[in-house]
Copies of this chain bind each other. A is one copy, B any other.
């Protein structure tokens, strides 16, 4: 069985490097992650590249469609992978996802938030496999998100115990 790092490489996922420059340093009041025992809390990730460009901002069902929002969700999941590397050094340090909460910015009449969120969750299963890559989750349709992002995902994961 291949490792999560091998699978991410085979899938050709574009995973950002959050170590250089260190993620979050331009925000004085937030931190990228925090580990307590084997639990690791990650900061909410969005569909934004390291240059600060935001993809598909807007409300799903109004300014953007489901396909665009789903692509933004998948990009967000790739960003989460980058954050995991930054937090733990390697995707292979993940024992399992523990909890996932995602937010979709929705306009009136759009209720299929799960269709958007699956764009992110599927990437986790592709990389970590069916057991470790699935998390208990909640998807919520909200009025707005910071910087008008259409999607944000907040992950808690279980790391392998430190050697």
Contacts and interface: CB of A to CB of B under 8 A. Distances in A.
Interface stretch (A9-17, A64-72, A106-114): A106-114
Contacts of A96: 34
A136 B34 CA distance: 7
A149 to B, nearest CB: 9
B99 A146 contact: no
Q: How many copies does the complex hold?
A: 3
Contacts of A98: 34, 36, 41
Please tell me the size bucket of the interface on A.
Answer: 35 or more
Interface of A: 28-34, 36-39, 41-44, 96-99, 101, 103, 106, 110-114, 117-118, 121-122, 124-125, 130, 133-148, 152, 154, 156, 158
19 contacts: A28-B130, A29-B124, A31-B136, A31-B137, A33-B136, A34-B96, A34-B97, A37-B38, A43-B136, A44-B136, A103-B138, A113-B146, A114-B146, A139-B145, A140-B140, A140-B145, A140-B152, A142-B142, A143-B143
